[in-house]
Structure 1
Amino acid sequence: MNRLFRRFAVLVLLAITLASCAIYATFLLLFGDPLEQIARRQAAGQIFLLEQYIDQAPADEWLPRLNKVREVSDVTLELQPLQTALGALPARRRDALLRGEVVMDIAGKAYYRRVDTNGARYIGSEDDVIHAQQLPVDIGEALGMEAIRFAVIALFLLVPIGWWSRAHWRGLQALSKVADDFGRGDLAARADIAPGASIAPLAARINDMAGRIGALLEARKHLLHSVSHELRTPIARLEFGMELLRERHAADDPALLKRLAAMETDVDELKELVNELLSLTQLDHAQAMPMQPFDVAPLLRACHPPGAQHFSASIAGDLGQLQGDARLLARAINNLLGNAAKYARSRIALTATRGERLHIVVEDDGPGIPEEAREQVFEPFYRLAREADHAAGGYGLGLAISAKAIRLHGGAITVDASPLGGARFTVVL
């Protein structure tokens, strides 16, 4: 049973219950208590016997006729003082008894009625009340019939609702699966919903949105890939041209030699950017990677940050093995260490432990990353708008490459504040 149907069922049952209460309150206001009317109908024979047989006797025969009915009837007919009867009734029913009306006692399966109001039956009859007990009154049966009636109504409401919600729920599950598949990188995932389904317009819009997003992502990947490849040719030409200048003219011109050195630095930066772009596009296009077992501890011991900062590594000896690409994972960890080296003041720490999962932590004592930017730092080309980030250089691709490599290994990476004072990157595999 799907959640949608359960909610509808609860709403329908609640609505029927409230409707029943509203109907009862309306009838009580307009026509009197419905339960009392039911009890009157069930006791109609006994009331008829009192009004049309006993009351029709002459005054001197009224008591003998009452006694005769007592002998043959299963109903107990007693005479009791008026004040006793008034004390047994709630205040709202006493006026009716004083007027000489039949007053039902549903819980006691009985009714009350004054003998008369003017003492015409016998001396003092105006102060007596007939109390009829053991009446054939069964409100439970009537309530049971009402319950069956409402249950049948609820059933005939819930069956079509169940049929509709089942189809609707399947459509929602199909949309949910498309969203999951699309989020995992299957850009061809689409919802297959019948045109007549209630969510068909929504599915069509989701499919259209997925198509546009897929096209944009594919265009972005192809653009990065194409630009990366196309840049290699002019870079190679620049390198060749600078080498010719160096051989022919630089030996006699120190200023030109210095300028060529600066140009070579710029070209090296371009080559590094192109290599990073190619790595990123390769990871974007990778749906799977060769799964080979490798030891984790030796791989992590071989990872070191560049520079002369104080680096400490605490790597447990029982890290075991992982299935994946050792070279790719090593690059991801080295990228994290290189990122820490750019911002650390003096300390970088690498910690690796294993419980149910493998935890690798890289942290530093640098300026850290603001909380509002901790998700965005894993996006390509994202850099914080502060002087330290621009002075550190880079292109904003290292963390994006690390995050994609770790996801390809089925893991996750997060960043928060380190006890050292800077940023702490936690990899869980």
Structure 2
Amino acid sequence: MRPVYLDYNATTPVAPEVLAAMMPFLTGAFGNPSSSHALGRQAHAAVERARAEVAGLIGASPDEILFTGGGTEANNLAIRGAIAPDDDRAIVTTAIEHPATEECCRLHEIAGRAVRRVAAGPDGIVSTADMAAAIAQETGLVTLILAQNEIGTLQPVADISALARSAGALAHTDAAQAVGKLPVDVRELGVDLLSIAGHKLNAPKGIGALFLRRSVVLRPVLVGGGQERGIRPGTENVPYIVGLGAACALAGERLKHRRAALAALSQRLLAGLREAVPGLVLVGDPERRLPNTLNVLFPGVSGRRLLEACPAVMASVGSACHADSEEPSAILTALGFERAAALGAVRLSLGWDGTAQDIDTAITELAGAWRSLASARQSAA
């Protein structure tokens, strides 16, 4: 039986359309975009076409898109480059950020800058009022995730960006999990900076982008040549940039025609698991979430051991696994879940090509593995 892949929040396959767009630039069209001859001009035109495709997906202008080596680099550029060293204003973030954001904030903290982290509620969403209170105290940058990567909840970025602007602060959002899964418009969100990771939307690993509003001055993390306005120097990765552009164009079409079907498959999976696994808990708000993401707690078992016992389903757990011990996800403990319950977490994230048969197989296999583990535990007791 072909395993059912339900780990699309971890990474996605390169779409055939994306690979087809890339191939010419991996073979004959190998020019350097900075070269003035025909091959160079061809490469330069391809990069600018991709820039327009990325911008089109998020409602930006092409000149507001910088290509990076991935979402982590985009976050580093935004969070480490947006505030000048002599600006002693604080950074406001949340307690449920991806490490690519949290570690950047930690570097600021080590350098002596205040970082205020706002906790999320039990529903996995930060309170606008709590963010407002934190922002009101001399803030230079607000950074928060748009769609939480482990549990899929959507944060009130537009409201918080408005608060940041009123306080004279910049607003950044890590949109790596959101772009390509739901409509994202930088004007509606009101953000100054937004991070994209290509491998989350069927482009290759190792390519990303940063939306940078025209009025924002960003200090580079790297120095070198003048590529990407001197903010991200280095010869452009033309094939992967082309791939990201093609993936964004493809995502725009999918969002128009297939978003409801993706959400329906996710609901089918949740309903089936709830029926088959008494006591199953959905983590986070049931409505304000990504259409493809379920983080569920299987009662009385370890999520890691559940997936080990269920090779027919490829998914993720949030726990940190060591040789002889497990620790629960920091995100779930931050939301107030007890250790034993949090260890039962499994993240199930769907892709555009999933089928009802895949979902029904996953329900059967996961529920069967849970019953086997629960029965073995009862016998041992």
Q: TM-score normalized by structure 1?
A: 0.20
Q: TM-score normalized by structure 2?
A: 0.22
Pick 1 or 2: higher relative contact order, CA cutoff 8 A, min separation 6: 2
User: Who wins on radius of gyration, i.e. which is larger?
Assistant: 1
